[in-house]
A and B are shown apart, each in its own frame.
Chain A
Amino acid sequence: MFFVGGSSRIEWGSHVIQDDADVIALCLEGDVDAMHQLVERYQSAVFGLCFKILGHREDAEDTVQDVFLRAFRNLAKWDPLRPFKPWVLTIAANRCRTALEKRSRQARNIDGSLDTIDAGPSSRQSDRTDLGEELDLALKKLRTDYRICFILFHQQELSCAEIGDMLNCPVGTVKIWLHRARKELAEHFTRRGIVPEGHYELPRI
């Protein structure tokens, strides 16, 4: 498989596939290779979203499979004039939300385990990995809407308008959710005594 001119043009044997619409058209005809290509293109994005929202690898893998199966089932409903990635990420976000609701019904109290971790301020952590794990912990304490919005924005790098379309809410709401999520995360870091590298403090008078 050769990628030519970016991720939208693929050479596969004698076939040259231009973009998502061509791949999806082949998928609708039952082409197994095209199905493989479609999954390989977007599985990282979908898995990253599911993994960040759910915080559990096995759950994320199950959800990714569920997402793509649902996408294949509803592939004929996809609008070729719109990009495929937000469409499949919308399915992923909805599936993650359903999985979180199911998890909360099953009384798997993640917050309880987080409280024990968050018992007191930690020492100053400058390691990047620790900072990422700290953000993971903080995200798990966020409201589901804030968390999905934050992940879609900062991990998938979608715009506020795209997130609004995906979550079926106005752009202003997305901006408010994003702002509140950032505020709560910053407060979490402050409580934990984490400060950014090269941060500046005003001189006390």
Chain B
Amino acid sequence: MNCLEFKEKLHSAVEAHRPPAGDDLAAHSRQCPDCLREWNEYQLLTQAVAAWNDTAPAVDLSDSIVSRWLLETTGPVRFPSALSSDENVSPTSPEKAALAPESFLFQRRSAGRLRARQVFWIPGGLLLMFFLLIRQGGSPPENSFVSKNPPQIESETSWATAEPPLPELDTLLQDVESGYWELANSAVHTVSDAADLLPMRRVGMNGAPLGWPALMPSSPFSETTNPAPSKDDPSGPLSQGFSKALNLLLEVVPATELPTS
């Protein structure tokens, strides 16, 4: 065997994951320093790889991987191993095969339906109770089974009787009339004051006429000295308008006795 054959045999054995056959490789390596060095390297690496492969620790990640996958795809799911002791089944039993995965999907669907029912029924029940309580708080209809004159103890324990009574229609109408009267009264006072104010501007404190202040030299008011209203008096139409408004308001106000409030 020459060196070329030695290298070919050694490399083919390495690539095939098998030890080199025969003793001719070892025999040749004892005659050639280069081949001996390569032979020793091969021996050393073979021993190191064998020792190195023994150091790999064991691991069991199937549960965490599958649970993470199911969490990623469908959401949280309980595995049979996570069930309680009375629910747990043997891994080899056919019950487990019958359980998974349809039973888990069924459990998930059932839980979803239950949640949907809760979402609809709880607010519905609360709304029904609310309407019933409001109905009991008001006056019962004629054909109602609720007593018109309930016992005192029942009215004390009922929260609806503790509420202030609803305003009656007569009270509402009285309030509206009072509001209208107050509005008309203030309007009358306003118009009366305005009507009284205009002649006061024309008369001084001692009863002497003052006339209109001269706003401008060319103003028609500057030449006015006569206290009696004339046709040229610009306050005439205003006074007449006030008088008409006052008369109209006095006609509008009812002649009956007005409420005091």
Interface string of A182-205 (1 = CB under 8 A from B): 110110010000111111111000
Which residues of B are found within 8 Å of A175, using beta-carbon distances?
Answer: 15
Say yes or no: is A123 at the interface (Cβ < 8 Å to chain B). Answer: no
Residue of B nearest to A179 (CB): B11
Q: B44–A68 contact, CB under 8 A?
A: no
Taking residues whose C-beta sits less than 8 angstroms from the other chain, chain B's interface range is: 35 or more
A190 to B187, CA, bound (A): 118
Pick from B51-59, B113-121, B156-164, B214-222 the stretch touching chain A.
Answer: B51-59
Interface residues of A in 67-110 (CB under 8 A from B): 68-69, 72
Instruction: Decide: A198 and B56 in contact? CB cutoff 8 A.
Output: no
Kindly state whether residue B152 has any CB partner on chain A within 8 Å.
Answer: no
B30 adjacent to A196 (CB under 8 Å): no
The reply to whether B59 and A43 contact each other, CB–CB distance below 8 Å, is: yes
Whether A131 contacts B47 by the Cβ 8 Å rule is yes
Complex Cα gap A135–B64 (Å): 31
Whether the pair B93, A13 counts as a contact (CB closer than 8 A) is yes
Task: State how many angstroms separate the Cβ of A75 from the closest Cβ of chain B.
Answer: 10
Question: Using an 8 Å CB-CB cutoff, how does the interface string of A9-20 with B read, 1 for contact, 0 for none?
Answer: 000111100000
Residue contact A39 to B91, C-beta cutoff 8 Å: no
Asked whether, in the complex, the Cβ of B97 is within 8 Å of the Cβ of A132, the reply is no
A31 touches B101 (CB 8 A): yes
Check A43 against B62 for contact (C-beta < 8 Å): yes
Quick check: is B250 within 8 A (CB to CB) of the other chain?
Answer: no
Q: Which of B49, B72, B93 is most buried by chain A, counting CB atoms within 10 A of its CB?
A: B49
A contact residues around B29 at 8 Å (CB): 200
- A13-B96, A39-B66, A186-B41 given; A32·B60 CB < 8 A: no
Query: Interface digits, A134-169 against B, CB 8 Å rule (1 contact, 0 not)?
Result: 111000000000000000001101011000000000
Considering residues B44, B48, B56, B62, which has the most beta carbons from chain A within 10 angstroms of its beta carbon? B48
In the assembled complex, A24 has its CB within 8 A of some CB on chain B: no
State whether B101 touches A65 (Cβ < 8 A): no
Least distance between B30 CB and chain A CB atoms (Å): 6
How many residues from A make CB contacts under 8 Å with B?
55
Q: Is the interface of A mostly helix, strand, loop or mixed?
A: helix
Partner of A135, one of B39, B40, B41, B51: B51
B33 A189 Cβ-Cβ under 8 A: no
Which chain A residue has the least Cβ–Cβ distance from B94?
A: A13
On whether the beta carbons of B66 and A32 are closer than 8 Å, the reply is yes
**In the complex, which residues of chain A have a beta carbon less than 8 angstroms from the beta carbon of B58?**
44
Collect the chain B residues with CB atoms within 8 Å of residue A33's CB: 96-97, 100-101
> Nearest Cβ in chain B — how far from A81, in angstroms?
24
**CA separation between A57 and B149, bound complex, in Å?**
82
Complex Cα gap A57–B55 (Å): 12
Q: B68 on the interface (CB 8 Å rule)?
A: yes
Q: Does B92 contact A (CB under 8 A)?
A: yes
The answer to whether B44 touches A14, judged by C-beta atoms less than 8 angstroms apart, is no
A residues contacting B by CB (< 8 A) are 1, 12-15, 30-33, 35-36, 39-40, 43-44, 47-48, 51-52, 57, 61, 64-65, 68-69, 72, 128-136, 154-155, 157, 159-160, 175, 182-183, 185-186, 189, 194-202
- Show 12 residue pairs from A and B whose CB-CB distance is below 8 angstroms, ordered by the A residue: A13-B92, A32-B104, A39-B61, A39-B65, A39-B66, A40-B62, A57-B57, A128-B47, A130-B51, A131-B52, A154-B53, A196-B43
Interface residues of B (CB under 8 A from A): 15, 17, 26, 29-30, 33, 36, 39-41, 43-66, 68-70, 72, 77, 79, 91-94, 96-97, 100-101, 104
State the 8 A-B residue pairs at the shortest beta-carbon distance, nearest first: A132-B51, A13-B97, A196-B44, A128-B51, A132-B52, A196-B43, A186-B41, A39-B62
